[in-house]
Amino acid sequence: MSADYWLNRWKNNDIGFHESRVNPYLDRYFTNLKIPQNGRVFVPLCGKTNDIAWLLEQNIQVVGVELCESAIKQLFGSLNVTPTVTVHDKFKLYSADNLAIWVGDIFALTANLLGSVDVIYDRGSLVALPFTLRKKYSRHVVMITQKAPQLLICCVYDQSKRDGTPYSISAQEVFDHYHHAYSLQLIRCEAIANGVKGVVPANIVVWQLNKKD
């Protein structure tokens, strides 16, 4: 899956993955992570998610990374905020007040550029990547965040019945990717009423990943 794939989807407004409302599991479970006052959350592959507005309303600093610049322009537009835009090697940085978004390839994002983060919110990242990239992604995120705790939202269904995103992520795969760095807690599993793009049954699964001592 190339960068052009995602850039073309944004160009063609083929963004069914974008939720028109705040994700209900964010509202319900984010406090489980016990982020400190004025803490900083990392939202990888963030797009223009409305979840960022919700996080900012909680007086939380948000840092994200996104490949598509037009998505970030739309994000700041939806927030009615004019960003400062600076160039840093392979990235553009869109920033304003408590929000900073790196525009570029997540695999080129370094710990130094990202800065310290308290928690990670992954609603649409792991499920957006094909199997061949998910291990690389998970290890990279663990490394650049120094094992920051995560709220991870996945879906599970019979992947053989369809191809494409959101990909099904089994409990075994979550364990394989993250058990070396985290203790894993399954905090929610419930049926998706109409399945995933017609594939039924399908479940939403919410994980809390806590850094191992």
The answer to whether the annotation marks 54 as part of a ligand binding site is: no
Residue 66, annotated as binding a ligand: yes
> Known binder of ligand: residue 134?
no
- What is the token pair recorded at 182? 């985290």
Which pair of tokens denotes residue 31?
């406090």
- Between the alpha carbon of residue 94 and those of residues 61, 100, 122, 166, 213, the distances in Å are 14, 6, 20, 27, 35
109 annotated binding-site participant = no
Judge contact between 47 and 124, C-beta under 8 A. yes
Tally Cβ neighbours within 10 Å of residue 180. 12
- Kind of pairing between the strands at 182-191 and 202-211: antiparallel
Binding-site positions for S-adenosyl-L-methionine: 10, 45, 66, 123
Binding-site positions: 10, 45, 66, 123
